[in-house]
A and B are shown apart, each in its own frame.
Chain A
Amino acid sequence: MIAVKTKDDFIIYTLEGVLTGTEHIDVPTSGLDNKKIQLVGQNVDSWNTDFVITLFNALKHIPQENITYSKLPKGMEQLLRLAFQAPYKEQEIPPKKLPFLERIGELGILFCRSVKKGATFICECLSSWGRQLIGNAVYRSKDFWMILADCGPKSILIVSLISFMVGLILAFVGAIQLKTFGAQIYVASLVTIGMTRIMGAIMTGVIMAGRTGASYAATIGTMQVNEELDALQTMGISRTDFLVLPRMNALLLCMPILILLSDFMGIVGGCFVCVLFWDIPLSEYIKYAVNSFYLTNFLVGVFHGIVFGLIIALCGCYFGVNCGRNADSVGTATTNAVVYAIVWMIVMTGILTAVCEGLGV
C-alpha cells in the first residue's frame, strides 16, 4: 500500500505492507520545481523488483537529488539508486527501410559476393584435385579411410532400407494403375527402369546429403569454432587439401557402389510386392526385370550419383569451412549444407535429364 501526503516542500510517499508492483503511484509531472520527494518505508512486509521498477518508472523524470529515502527496506534503496545511476535508454527506433531499388541492389551485391565465394571454393577444390593427380596434395591416408568407412559401409543399411521401401512404393502405385489394363506384370519393368535410371541415384543422394553432407559441415564447422582451421592455415597446410579432398574422394568412390546397391534393393522391393500382393510368379518378375535392365540407364544413374557425390561433398565442406565461430553457426552450416545439396541435386537432375534427352541417351 502506498499513502501520499504533502508537507511543506515535501511530497511524502509512505510504503507499507506487501508491495507487488501492481500499485498505482501517482506522481505529478509538473509543478515540482520547489518540491522534494520523500520515500518512507513503514512496516514493509515484502517487496520485489517489479515494485522497484514501477516506482522508478513513476519517479524517473524527477532529478535524483530531489528524492530522499527514509527507512526503506535494505536493498530497495540501493536498487533505486542503481536504477537512477544507469543511463536511461529510450527504445531504439528501427532504422528506416531502404527504398525498393536499393534493397534489390543490395541483394544483388550479396548474391554476386556469394557466387564469387562459391566459385573461388570450387576452383580451390579443383586445384587441390590437380595437385593430387601430380602427387602434391597433402592429407593423411588414415583420415581418408576413416571418412570412407563412415560414408560407405556405415551407410549400407539405411540406403538398403530406403531403396527397398522406394521400390515397394513404386511397385504398389504402378501396379494399381497397370492392373486396370491387366498389365501388372510390367511393374517389374517400371521398377527396374525407374530405379536404375534415376530413382536409385536420387534416393542415395538425398540420404547421403542428410547423413554425410551434414556430418561434413558439422565436423569442419566445429573445427572452425575450435580454431583448428586457423591452426592448419598458420601451419601452411591447405584446408582444401587436408579436409575437403579426402571427403570428396570418399564420396566419389562410395556413390557408384551405393547406387548399385540402391538399384538392387529397389528391384527387390518391387519383387516383394509383386510376388506377395499381386500373385506374379517370381520367375516372371525376374524375367521382366532382366529384360528391362539397360546398361545405358544404369550408367546414367551412376553418372548422376557421381555428380551428386560431388555436390554433397562440396556443399558440406563449403558450409563447414565458412562456418561462424559459435555453436549456433554450426547448426546453420549443417542445415545449409543439406538444403543446398538437395536443391543443387534436383537442379542438376533437371539439367542432366535435358542433356541426356538431347543426346538421345
Chain B
Amino acid sequence: MKPDPIIRVKNVSIGYDGKVIMKDLSFDIPKGDIFIIMGGSGCGKSTLLRTLTGLIPAQAGQISIRDIDFINANSKDKLEIMKNSGILYQGGALFSSMSLAENVALPLQQYTSYSQDKINQIVAFKLALVGLSGYEEYYPSEISGGMRKRAGLARALALDPEIVYFDEPSAGLDPVSSKNLDDLILEINKTLGTTIIVVTHELSSIFAIGKNSIFLDKTIHTISAKGNPNELLKNPPNRQVYEFLTRGESYEKRTK
C-alpha cells in the first residue's frame, strides 16, 4: 500500500512578479520518500522549492502539507509547518557570524525550552551525524564548501523535521563529496524516516537516491514526467526526459 502523501500539490502555478514560469503542477509526495524535482537549468526547480517552503507565494493552486492548506494557513499553522521542515540551501546558508555549534543551536533555542547543556548535546550529536564532530567551534569561513553543506544539513535536522528540502546539494562539490552527501541523504531517510525533497540536475545523484521524481519541462512550462528516475530512463515518456537522463543522447536512435 502506498504511504499517505505528506505534501499534495494541486494545479499550482509558480513564478515571480506576476510572471508564470510553471503552471498546472500537480503531484503528491509520499511520507518517507526521497523525491526529486529535476529539469534543465532555468526551468523553475528552485522557484518551485521556494514556493513549497513558503519563501514566495504560489500564483495559483493548492499546496497542502500534512493536510494543512499551506498557502492559506494562518501564521500559527505556517510556523508549525516551518518547524517541521528543514532546508539545506545551495551554499549552506550558515550564519557567518556564528560558529557551527551556534548555527545548529539556533532553531533549538528558538523553539525548545531545553537547557543549554541539552542543546549542546543535541548540537554535538547532529554535527556528528553529518561527520563534523570536533568542528563545533569553527566558523563557516574556516571550513570547506562541502563541510558547510553538511553543517547546513545538521542545522536543517536540528529539530528532527519530518521534511527536509535540498536545493542542489551537489552543486560545487567534488564527485567524492557529492557521493558522500548522497549516502548521508539515504542514511537520514532510512534511519530517521525523514521525507526528503531534492532539487537537482545531477544525474548520478538522481539515480542513486531518487525513489520518485517529477521532470519540469521548460518547453511546455509544466511537468512532463513523473515516477522513479530509473524507470523513467527505461521507459522515457518523451524526448526531453530521455535526453536529460542520458546527457543528450539521441531519442530517435533509442527508439530504433
Question: Which residues of A are interface residues toward B (Cβ below 8 A)?
Answer: 138, 143, 146, 222-223, 226-228, 230-231, 233-237
Which residue, of A138, A222, A226, A233, has the highest number of chain B Cβ atoms within 10 A?
A226
- Partner of A227 from B85, B91, B111 at Cβ < 8 Å: B91
Task: Given A226-B91, A230-B55, A230-B89, check contact A235 B106 (CB 8 Å).
Answer: yes
Q: Is B203 an interface residue (CB 8 A)?
A: no
A287–B14 Cα distance when bound, in Å, is 72
CB distance from A26 to the nearest CB of B (A): 42
Q: Which residues of B have CB within 8 Å of A223?
A: 95-96
Supply 15 further A-B pairs (C-beta < 8 A) apart from A230-B89, A231-B89: A138-B110, A222-B96, A226-B93, A226-B96, A228-B94, A228-B96, A231-B93, A231-B95, A233-B54, A234-B54, A234-B55, A234-B85, A236-B78, A236-B79, A236-B111
- Partner of B110 from A143, A146, A237 at Cβ < 8 Å: A237
B107 pairs with A143, CB closer than 8 A: no
Q: Taking CB as reference atom, which chain B residue is nearest A237?
A: B110
Q: Is B90 an interface residue (CB 8 A)?
A: yes
Q: Which residues of A have CB within 8 Å of B224?
A: none
A223–B98 Cα distance when bound, in Å, is 13
Q: Taking CB as reference atom, which chain A residue is nearest B111?
A: A236
A227 pairs with B93, CB closer than 8 A: yes
B96 pairs with A234, CB closer than 8 A: no
Q: Taking CB as reference atom, which chain B residue is nearest A138?
A: B110
A143 pairs with B97, CB closer than 8 A: yes
- Partner of B97 from A146, A227, A231, A233 at Cβ < 8 Å: A146
Q: Is B87 an interface residue (CB 8 A)?
A: yes
Q: Is B83 an interface residue (CB 8 A)?
A: yes
A227–B50 Cα distance when bound, in Å, is 11
Q: Which 7 A-B pairs have the closest CB atoms?
A: A227-B93, A231-B93, A236-B82, A227-B89, A236-B79, A234-B87, A234-B53
Q: Which residues of A have CB within 8 Å of B53?
A: 234
CB distance from B196 to the nearest CB of A (A): 16
Q: Which residues of A have CB within 8 Å of B107?
A: 235
* Size class of the B contact interface (CB-based, 8 Å): 20 to 34
A223–B55 Cα distance when bound, in Å, is 15
Secondary structure dominating the interface of A? helix
Please name 14 pairs of A and B residues whose Cβ atoms are closer than 8 Å in the assembled complex, sorted by A: A138-B110, A146-B97, A223-B96, A228-B93, A230-B93, A231-B89, A231-B95, A234-B53, A234-B87, A235-B107, A235-B110, A236-B79, A236-B111, A237-B106
Q: Which residues of B have CB within 8 Å of A237?
A: 106, 110
A230–B47 Cα distance when bound, in Å, is 13
CB distance from A110 to the nearest CB of B (A): 13
- Partner of A228 from B55, B79, B83, B95 at Cβ < 8 Å: B95
- Partner of B82 from A138, A228, A234 at Cβ < 8 Å: A234
Q: Which residues of A have CB within 8 Å of B85?
A: 234
Task: Given A138-B110, A230-B55, check contact A235 B82 (CB 8 Å).
Answer: yes
A257–B205 Cα distance when bound, in Å, is 57
A138–B96 Cα distance when bound, in Å, is 18
CB distance from A239 to the nearest CB of B (A): 12
CB distance from B54 to the nearest CB of A (A): 7
Q: Which residues of B have CB within 8 Å of A233?
A: 54-55
B83 pairs with A236, CB closer than 8 A: yes
A236 pairs with B95, CB closer than 8 A: no
Q: Which residues of B have CB within 8 Å of A231?
A: 87, 89, 93, 95, 155
Q: Which residues of A have CB within 8 Å of B79?
A: 236
Q: Taking CB as reference atom, which chain A residue is nearest B78?
A: A236
A143–B95 Cα distance when bound, in Å, is 12
A228–B98 Cα distance when bound, in Å, is 12
Q: Which residues of B have CB within 8 Å of A138?
A: 110
A233–B55 Cα distance when bound, in Å, is 7
Task: Given A143-B97, A146-B97, check contact A236 B90 (CB 8 Å).
Answer: no
Which residue, of B83, B93, B94, has the highest number of chain A Cβ atoms within 10 A?
B93
CB distance from B93 to the nearest CB of A (A): 4
Which residue, of A223, A230, A233, A234, has the highest number of chain B Cβ atoms within 10 A?
A234
A141–B83 Cα distance when bound, in Å, is 23
Q: Taking CB as reference atom, which chain B residue is nearest A222?
A: B96
